[in-house]
Amino acid sequence: MSRLLTLLLLLVAVQATAQRRLELWNKNQLNVGLSSRLTLKVSEKIHYIPENGKLEVLFGEVFINDRPLEWMEYGVGFRVTKLQPITDTWTTENRLMLFADFSKTIEAFKLTFGNRFEYRNFSDLPDHFRYKQTFTFQFPALTKWGMRFYVSEESFMRLDTGNMHLARFFGGLHLYKREHFQLSLYYALQKAKLRNDWYSSDIAGLNLQLAI
């Protein structure tokens, strides 16, 4: 365990020195089962920039998920975000989201394809619709408590311009994954397009998930 954590942190440190910005992300989520199919998911997340001691993103969101089939899940969500990506002025975003995820398990490997449509309403920026797609591949569990590696990618396309403006590539580890509790660590490379130029960031993240 200690060797895996050391290797992950070393990878982040090496990448961060290559003229890219380091970001620290933390997400905490509570899942409440409403029925055999419906789940209420409430979460909060922060993005912190160690270089300047700046909290760049803070959001809270709520989702209602329906799983009619073992391999299919869909739902609707709403998010309120406070962000200051460029200046020290906070911007508010209200986001309505519709999603549908499809998964396939082959022996102990699991592949998930996610789709999400968003309407993003800003306090002082142009509103727009956006599409997010994700692919996630989970490897077989290494321990009886659910430790397993996963890789993932996600990309975002603004529908008003038809251009992709954000992409992320993840490599992570579910340290502990059971029915009511999950703890995960990950590293991600982010590519963001601003003013026709692409900028890179390294992300070290921690996710905590509880279910009742």
Token pair recorded at residue 25? 């992300």
The residue ranking higher by pLDDT, 199 or 73, is: 73
Please tell me the pTM assigned to this model.
Answer: 0.87
Helices (H), 26-174: none
Residues 28, 45: Cα–Cα separation, whole Å: 6
Provide the b/e sequence for 120-144 (b: ≥16 CB within 10 Å).
beeeeeeeeebebebebebeeeeee
β pairing state of 109-122 and 128-138: antiparallel
Q: How sure is the predictor about 2, in pLDDT bands with cuts at 50, 70 and 90?
A: very low
